[in-house]
Structure 1
């Protein structure tokens, strides 16, 4: 069965191409790292920079494609949502790699895109949750309020994320963590 690709929106084509390029770039990056024979004597700052660079190479092509799609359709709420998710995923991977400082501006960008979505779709439970988690991980002053708003959705499809939000909300009184261990970030 053939698929008529001519009827696909341009932004979908751009995203697919960006994902394919991202995959090729990540494979090429891994090959370059593997052939370099990394020395064990390199400093941890070089390792952190290499990790950050590798993560950026993985996420930046998709973000660039989505930014181009948004430029073509600035009011498309689905593109804006995907941009929020792309920055969220990028920040989450940096945070899980122990690079919370590098993730901070990305959490803020994700929140700004999620705020744009919520201005038009204030009851979007998934976006409310992602925005709440981004606020929590970034240490935003409205993190507790965002978590409460997400919890109040009581969306049965997001029960695990709501449980995590309740745990995070209980921790906020003490402090908002700068980093989290791998696996605690709930990505969209």
Structure 2
């Protein structure tokens, strides 16, 4: 269940595309940068387990960024970095734990910082798409759709936005919209990215059919170093 931010660190989110900011962690299965693979089992109270290690890995960066925000609370660069840091933490937590929803607070924090960043300076389709992905994985599908539609209204051929919009529409049962936007995605990104063309075609087939299986995952603009 990961993500891919344009020009960011990639990580596997559940089936969302690569977003362009920093590609921070793995994707979650389903997002362009979906977090692929199954994480090791670990409960929320895993003590010295993997979740604790994940938290430690992100705590230092977040503390440093919060220090920077204290002196400049409207810094676009720092706000985006904060959103990316929480995004990566959420994705890594989702991959490491079998407890569904444990990463919810991190997704929520990611959306808050992305919102603040876009309030300071709007227009970057990668930030907008990453915010939409965070909404989606935080259980806010309607907000995810609204956010990605804002991105596509200004950037109609932005591949990550098109791909992720298809995932959001499928989840919302808007199959006709999903098929249309994924068809546009294939035309906009004919060479494909990390096998996303095949996944897009699979989703189109699912939506054109009856029930179909769950979507393969979202893709964000974050990537692992």
Q: 1:164: how far off? A: 2.9
4+ runs deviating over 4 angstroms: 46-49, 180-185
Q: 1:53: how far off? A: 0.6
2:50 corresponds in structure 1 to 51
5+ long unaligned stretches in structure 2: 1-40, 175-213
* Larger fraction in helix: 1
2:13 corresponds in structure 1 to none
Q: Whose relative contact order is higher, 1 or 2, with alpha carbons under 8 Å and at least 6 apart?
A: 2
Instruction: Confirm or deny: 8 A CA contact 2:76 2:117 kept in the other structure.
Output: yes
1:172 corresponds in structure 2 to 172
SS at match of 1:101: coil
Instruction: Confirm or deny: 8 A CA contact 2:104 2:138 kept in the other structure.
Output: yes
* Larger fraction in strand: 2
Alignment partners' CA distance in 2, 1:124 and 1:48:
38
TM-score where L is the length of structure 1 = 0.63
Q: Deviations over 1:59-115 (max 9, x none)?
A: 111111111111122222211111111111111111233454221011111111111
Q: CA RMSD in A?
A: 2.9
Q: 1:120 to 1:44 in 2, by over 3 A?
A: closer
1:109 corresponds in structure 2 to 109
Instruction: Confirm or deny: 8 A CA contact 2:129 2:220 kept in the other structure.
Output: no
2:155 corresponds in structure 1 to 154
Aligned positions, number: 140
1:129 corresponds in structure 2 to 129
Alignment partners' CA distance in 2, 1:170 and 1:107:
21
TM-score where L is the length of structure 2 = 0.53
Q: 1:166: how far off? A: 1.9
Aligned ranges for residues 1-188 of structure 1 at < 5 Å? Answer: 45=43, 48=46, 50-98=49-97, 99-140=99-140, 141-154=142-155, 158-173=158-173, 184-188=218-222
Q: Deviations over 1:129-168 (max 9, x none)?
A: 0100000100124222123223334365x51453133223
